[in-house]
Each structure stands twice: as structure tokens, then as C-alpha cells.
Structure 1
Amino acid sequence: MTKQSLEVSRLIHADKEPKIGIPEKDREGVIKILTELLCDEYVLVTKTKKYHWNVVGPDFSELHKFLEEQYEEMDEIVDKVAERIRTLGGQTIATLSEFTQYTRLKEDPGSYPDTHTMLANLLDAHEATIRILRGNADEADEKYHDMGTNDFLITLMEQHEKMAWMLRSYLTEKSH
């Protein structure tokens, strides 16, 4: 599937424009950033749930609970990203086809890897998200002059850094 360009103009809410000191053109840029992030976050939640449902082995109970904690935290992130879009006067996309169309993360349909590969795949996805967030935070501030979204994205980046650290620590522990 070829990734299509996101049409931001259709995501701007037609009702009353928020008067929050960010011009519409800048809000459009930030809404595009947040919408692509929403897609990435949703795909990452789904991948984590897939692995939560399909994990097996001697550490099943521990990993099942661990992955549940991670996807619950990411469910909250998804909600916060959608609410940030709405705060800026945007509309949130909310269909599976749109999420998969605009995500930058790789899915693995039909694949049921071993536990180590599951955790490594999740670590890779979190680290990719961290790199994206790092660039998006700078862009929100420097290009679109939206310090609120900059701060918001930095907070999300820190959450993903912690989740990545936990995955990395588990992988390190289990490889010895």
C-alpha cells in the first residue's frame, strides 16, 4: 500500500476557530503532525494488544500483564493526542483504514513471532516513535510557534522513552 499524503484542510473544524494565538496555517501544520502521531500511536497500541493476546511460554503471566500495562498507557496517549487535535480546532480521524493509511510504523499482519521478537518489535516501534516525536516537538515550536504542542510532544516522548527502557531492560535480562 502506498502511503497517501494527509489532507489537513479537511481536518480543520469548520465551526468556530479557536482564538488561542496560533494562526490557522500554523494550527494546520500542528494538526497534521498530531494526526500522523495519532495513527502511529493507534497502530502501536494494536500491535501491543496483538502480542499481549498471543504471548506464550514460561513467562506468559508476567509478559501478559506487562504488555497490558503498556497498551493501557498507550490507550491514554491516543485519547490525549485526539483531544489535543480537537483543542486546536481540528477533527480527529478515527477509522482503522485511515490509521493504517497514514501510520509511519510497520505492521506485521499474519506474523506471530516468538516472545523475544515480539518485545524487540515493540522496542523498535517505540524507538521510531521517539525519533519522530523528537523531530515533531522541534517543528511544533520552531516552525509553527506552538509551545503548548511542543511541551505536549516532549511529555509523550518521555513516556515512550520509559516504555522503551522497560522493553530494553526485559530483553537484556532475558538474553543472559
Structure 2
Amino acid sequence: MTETRRITDVATLKAMGHPLRVRLYGDLYMRGTATASQLAEGLDDGTAVSLVSYHLRKLAEHGLIEEAPREDGGDGRERWWRPAQESLRIDSADFRDSPEGAAAHTALARVIYEQRREHYLRFLEQRSGWSEEWQDASDASDFLVRATAAELKELTAELHAVVKRYQDKGRAAEAAGDGEGRETAAIHLYGFPFRP
């Protein structure tokens, strides 16, 4: 598994841009490994396993996911899948010279945003079910920064480095058997210019 894959071709960008594929990739990323049946159960909307399998194969065709070693010791009838990389990087700069690529990038960004929005709305609906400690640890902030384009890029890189440090810390703790009290926390960062 590679650490980070940068998507630079329009075909892969389009393959990733389907809402169900983004959801399946995200669910697979969260679980580490899963079968189509497990992912279909997690959707809670009656999506057929055959449709999930189809979309998983499309993600695999573009190298976004790969077959994983079996976890259940079963008879091999069902495939186990995992992300083919630890993270994906998709930069608008790689697609700005192609109208088709720019449109595909914007479409994928919208799908990803909508799914992040849904995650946060789900948290809001379920907040009372979390302990006070977790409720107090959650955050919803926004900031306005007067910056140059170079400064915004620098700020983004610094924020990514901080998040990566905590990802590494959590992985190391769990690898050492210290998973007590750990939950998956979603960190959504957006940095963009706008004029009021």
C-alpha cells in the first residue's frame, strides 16, 4: 500500500466521482478492509450487494482499492477489499487546463462536500448520545484570515502536518494495544478566498 496517491488523470477522477463510490471508498477507508456484503449492510438504504460489488470493481479498475487478504478464513467466495493507498490527493491544478477535467474535479468536490456535510449533520443529530467529554471535544469553528495566496498555502500545509501528527500518534497507540477511549474523529478543513 502506498502512502499517498495523487490522482492526475481524468478517467480516475471520473471513476471516483460517483456518489456511491465516494461513500464506499470512505467506508472502506474507515474499516480498513471489508466485503461488498459488509459495505452494503453499512449503507442502511437497501443498496444491493451486486451494485456495491460493481462499484468496488470500478474503483479497483482505477487502482483506488485492491483485494485484501481474507480476514475470516472462509472459502474464498467473497472478496475482501481495502484502499490501495493511505490517502488520496486531488489538486485542481492538475485539471485546470482541461474543461473536462475541471468539470470532473468540481463534480467530485461537490460529492465529497455533501458527504462531509452529511457526516456532520449525523453527528448533530446523535450528539446527545455521545459522552459529555466527546461533546465538549467536538468543534465547529470558522475563521477569516487576511492572507496572500502563498500564506494560505503555507497555512494549509501547517494544518495538514498537525493532523498527520495526530494520525500517526493514534496509529502508533493502537499498534501498541492502546485503543482505549479512541474514536474516529472527522477533521474537515476548507481554505478558500472569497469576497463578502
Normalising by structure 1, we get a TM-score of: 0.34
More helix by share: 1
Kindly indicate which of the two structures has a greater share of residues assigned to strand. Answer: 2
- Return the index of the structure with the highest Cα Rg: 2
